[in-house]
Amino acid sequence: MSTDGHLRSEVYKIVTKTNDVISEDPYRLSYHLMPPVGLLNDPNGFIQYKGVYHLFYQWMPFKTGHGAKFWGHYSSTDLVHWKHEEIALTPSEWYEKNGCYSGSAIESNGEMYVFYTGNVKDEQGNRETYQCLAVSKDGFHFEKKGPVVELPAEYTAHFRDPKVWKQDDHYFMVVGAQTTDIKGAVALLRSNDMLTWNHLGVIAGGGEGLLADFGYMFECPDLFHLQGKDVLIFSPQGLEATGLNYQNVYQSGYVMGHFNSQEGSYNHGPFQELDRGFDFYAPQTTTDEKGRRILFAWMSVPDQNEQEHPTIKYHWLHNMTLPRELKVINNKVFQVPVKELEQLRVGEVFEHDVKLNAENREFEEVNGKTIEIVLEKIDVSSGFFSMSVGEAAKIIYSPKQGLFTLERQSYVDGVTEIRQCLLNHLDSMRIYLDTSSIEIFINGGEETFTARFYPVPSNNSVRFSSSEKSTFMIKKWKLAD
Ligand code: FRU
């Protein structure tokens, strides 16, 4: 049997073998994308191709750790209902033997081209990196064409995650990189045919400009035009926590500016974090046939605590965020859950006008494991307002400092940990709860907080509390499993 055939049959065996135990996990999510078994990380190759959304993902089927990654595959016609497909790429060739790492997809002449990083390591752990191409006529079966980009001399072998787009009759590729003097950078390449690529240089980071002192590696770059701006998303590694910022081990955010496709240059402003919660990394976007720019991110961060998640004993780990539509408002990227997610709502909405006066309140109708809660017309006079979810997560807002806080009980040692950001005002919150995840969209997506958390499975309660006067309007829907 070929290496590819062998790997596919091994994956099939482990999926079949672990199916029963995985479905018993009380923390298995109900409407988020997860791996059938093993570990999921970055979204890859996100594209709407011939009307169908394809979301590939970094997948380690054989354990809940990292390693020689596969490209797993989900497809959907509506961004809500997804089907798990056959594996798209297995790490079967010499140039990818330690992993078909992250990359992107683009359509050309009716075919789907995927670019990804072939990761190769020797016994001493020395790395080689190849930017590879695979082509598909149907979006499901891929023919590997092998490496199309060799490592340029300016970078170490930490050169990966190609994102490709077409602009002004050229193809462009951004690659996450580390320069030889160990600075995080985004490299730009150009091509006329997607087979031969020319390296044009560093367009962000590399020890220059506003990102001069900005970490040792940038992963998963994504450059796109949105509402008159060119937005460059990337995930820098090596930033020190400062004040409320950069609290996770690694960050994900963007700079905004102008990309000059003739010169292959990019002018940009300062870095801003995309999400303020505990678990958000390596986002990737695509445009769909409706012209929307849609983002998925990995709902985790690579860190030393990954193996502490309680889902490990059920042989799976991690999930994607919900798909979010991006908008630029006042030089800031807003994230809004895609409209289609309203299809998840089942039954009637529960609506209520709430007035709290130095009290705690619980509404029988506002509980559940898989729910959507919208708070509107929020008015917190002073003191603080809070909302607790199953006692394992809590949102707190204090208007005086303009401070918004998400607390959770650590899944490592139960200690309370926090993430915070400053707000000018708090008008509204849209919150998606799914068994062991929370996504909070503040003020129409101006800020988001994304996190895994693990409430006691029998505790479905949502409680509101106000130290002084708070008023808000609440809407709640149960969401379909
Ligand atoms: C980001 C990342 C990428 C790499 C992939 C490997 O989480 O480290 O840079 O391609 O994951 O799974």
List the chain pLDDT tens, one digit each, 481 residues: 899 999 999 999 999 999 999 999 999 999 999 999 999 999 999 999 999 999 999 999 999 999 999 999 999 999 999 999 999 999 999 999 999 999 999 999 999 999 999 999 999 989 999 999 999 999 999 999 999 999 999 999 999 999 999 999 999 999 999 999 999 999 999 999 999 999 999 999 999 999 999 999 999 999 999 999 999 999 999 999 999 999 999 999 999 999 999 999 999 999 999 999 999 999 999 999 999 999 999 999 998 899 999 999 999 999 999 999 999 999 999 999 999 999 999 999 999 999 999 999 999 999 999 999 999 999 998 999 999 998 899 999 999 999 999 999 999 999 999 999 999 999 999 999 999 999 999 999 999 999 999 999 888 999 999 999 999 999 999 999 7
Nearest atom, ligand 1, residue 103 CA: 10
Nearest atom, ligand 1, residue 58 CA: 12
The residues annotated as belonging to the active site are 42
pLDDT on residue 391: 86
ipTM of the complex model: 0.99
Residue 187 · residue 232 · CB < 8 Å:
no
pLDDT digits (tens, 9 = 90+) for 465-481: 999 999 999 999 999 97
Which two tokens mark 7? 């790997």
Expressed in angstroms and rounded, the spacing between residue 319 Cα and the centre of ligand 1 is: 15
Pairing outcome for strands 143-149 and 127-136: antiparallel
Pairing outcome for strands 265-268 and 253-260: antiparallel
Residue 366 · residue 354 · CB < 8 Å:
no
Expressed in angstroms and rounded, the spacing between residue 204 Cα and the centre of ligand 1 is: 19
CA distance 258 to 266: 6
pLDDT on residue 481: 73
pLDDT on residue 441: 98
pLDDT digits (tens, 9 = 90+) for 58-76: 999 999 999 999 999 999 9
Expressed in angstroms and rounded, the spacing between residue 275 Cα and the centre of ligand 1 is: 18
Closest Cα to atom 9 of ligand 1: 219
Expressed in angstroms and rounded, the spacing between residue 127 Cα and the centre of ligand 1 is: 14
Pocket, ligand 1, Cβ cutoff 6 A:
41-42, 58, 69, 101-102, 117, 160-161, 219-220, 281-282, 302
Q: How far is CA 131 from CA 98, 147, 213, 244, in A?
A: 13, 5, 27, 36
Residue 271 · residue 253 · CB < 8 Å:
yes
Nearest atom, ligand 1, residue 66 CA: 12
pLDDT on residue 304: 86
CATH architecture, domain 342-479: Sandwich (2.60)
- The CATH superfamily holding the domain 3-337 is Glycosyl hydrolase domain; family 43 (2.115.10.20)
Our CA dihedral for 80, 176, 438, 357, rounded to 10 degrees, sits at -130
The residue whose two tokens read 């004040």 is: 243
Q: Where are the domains of the chain?
A: 3-337, 342-479
